[in-house]
Structure 1
Amino acid sequence: MSVSGYTPSGPVGRVVHRAEEIFIALILGAMTLITFANVVLRYGFSESLLWGQEVVEILFAWLVLFGISYGFKVTAHLGVDAIVNMVGGGLKRGMAIIACLVCVAYAFLLLKGAYDFWAPFSNLNPTSGRWFPTGFEEARAQGYAVVRPVPIPFGKEFLENTFNWYMDGDTRVVEEYDYLPRVIPYLILPIGASLLLFRVVQATLGVVRGTRQRIITSHEAEDAVETAADKLARGEAVKKG
């Protein structure tokens, strides 16, 4: 499958690419089903899924944060390249590399912030240092925090034993969760930021090696639209033939 001119190479690349697309499709499907069920219950039976809206918002956040790295991989992000198109040759390539390095720095900072925000909810220590990690610093564990009124679909005992406990002297006390712990929905923060950093570094190496020209699609997606139109025209021609 090709998206925005992207074609996965090798068996591993194809499997990963397919898995990412399936994951995105599952999130979109779950959001649609939950919203549809809520509408039917509300207008047909005067009922509603109390946790429906919250779950849809969580899934939407997962979709966005996961989709950012996917967009870098398939060169689907839009960007303004008016100045870049005014120059040519080595200067254009140099500007593309500078843009890549800026994106790498931003993705790294985003990863640090994402981990530092998520860590207390998993009873881990966030990193110290304002811009770059210089170690770890102690923080108040917040593994007890939950997302109301979202229930725990499965793994309740595992989550309680892993995140919702404290030491009372020499005794390990495990408390019960009434709702889904925040560590689960917030997990997309370090995962999404890690994938973003990986894909940006991957795109930067592609620009340096000359296998791709930029990390964004053309201004106003003109090239993408033209490519899609050409493919559509070829498909219609094949059907008519």
Structure 2
Amino acid sequence: MSSALHWLFKAFDVFIVIGMAVISLLIFTNVVLRYGFSSGIPFAVEVSRVVLLWVIFMGSVVALARGAHLGVESLVVRLPPRMRWVCFLASYGLMLWCCWLMGEGSWSLTLIEWSNVQALSGIPVGAIYAAGFVAAILMALVLLLDLWRSLRGILPAPWSGVEHVEPLPVVVPPRTSEETP
């Protein structure tokens, strides 16, 4: 991954952490205020909903870029190289088509709903659908980058015939008193 993309996904990671912190803080404060003081933050639920959707969509983009999305590789790794290549192209073509559908639908809904605002926060309803549009564009860019790499001979792990297995964490057993010098 290039340094610019690495920086972008680090920025997404920071955005996700900040978004989750904002959601946690808003909801926790709202619960304490409602049950403890019979009041609350009126816009907390609406803001939390918008931030959560953006966090989910940006997290999906990061997961796609890192190859952390759900996949069944047991069949792909058993195929001959030419069939893996065909499956790779077919699956990436289908994913790009899904990105197109998601982007087109999200953009239409963003335009339709942008003039409507949420009752308490004043955030445009279209901001919810804009998250899907931005995610569709970014996911398509990640997929196109993977396709470009594949044309240069660099296939992602399962498509290249290598099983993508995360290494197990190394756990050092505690030393007993008998082993201590």
TM-score band by shorter chain is 0.7 to 0.9
CA distance in 2 between partners of 1:93 and 1:214 (Å):
12
**Partner residue of 1:55?**
47
Q: Tell me whether 80-89 or 14-23 shows the greater mean CA deviation.
A: 80-89
1:103 pairs with 2:95:
yes
**Partner residue of 2:127?**
184
**Partner residue of 1:28?**
20
Q: 1:99 to 1:147 in 2, by over 3 A?
A: same
Aligned partner letter, 1:28: M
TM-score, normalised with respect to structure 1: 0.62
The SS at the match of 2:170 is helix
Superposition map of 1:214-225 within 5 A: 223-224=165-166
Gaps of 5+ in 2: 174-181
Q: Deviations over 1:29-58 (max 9, x none)?
A: 111111111121122212222221222221
Aligned partner letter, 2:46: E
**Partner residue of 1:82?**
74
1:113 pairs with 2:105:
yes
1:148 deviates by: 1.6
Gaps of 5+ in 1: 1-7, 123-142, 151-178
Q: 1:31 to 1:215 in 2, by over 3 A?
A: farther
1:73 deviates by: 0.6
The SS at the match of 2:165 is helix
1:118 deviates by: 1.0
Deviation beyond 4 Å, 4+ runs, structure 1: none
1:204 deviates by: 2.4
Instruction: Tell me the C-alpha RMSD between the 2 structures.
Output: 2.6
CA distance in 2 between partners of 1:26 and 1:215 (Å):
33
- Whether the 8 Å contact between 1:34 and 1:52 is mirrored in structure 2 is yes
**Partner residue of 2:83?**
91
- Whether the 8 Å contact between 2:113 and 2:125 is mirrored in structure 1 is yes
Structure scoring higher RCO (CA < 8 A, sep ≥ 6) equals 1
Match of 1:233 among 149, 170, 176: 170
**Aligned positions, number:** 170
Structure (1/2) with the larger strand percentage: 1
TM-score, normalised with respect to structure 2: 0.80
The SS at the match of 1:233 is coil
- Whether the 8 Å contact between 2:19 and 2:51 is mirrored in structure 1 is yes
1:190 deviates by: 2.0
1:215 deviates by: 8.0
**Partner residue of 2:120?**
149
The SS at the match of 2:137 is helix
The SS at the match of 1:80 is coil
**Partner residue of 2:35?**
43
Q: 1:100 to 1:38 in 2, by over 3 A?
A: same
Aligned partner letter, 2:130: L
**Identical residues among aligned pairs (%):** 20
Match of 2:63 among 66, 71, 90: 71
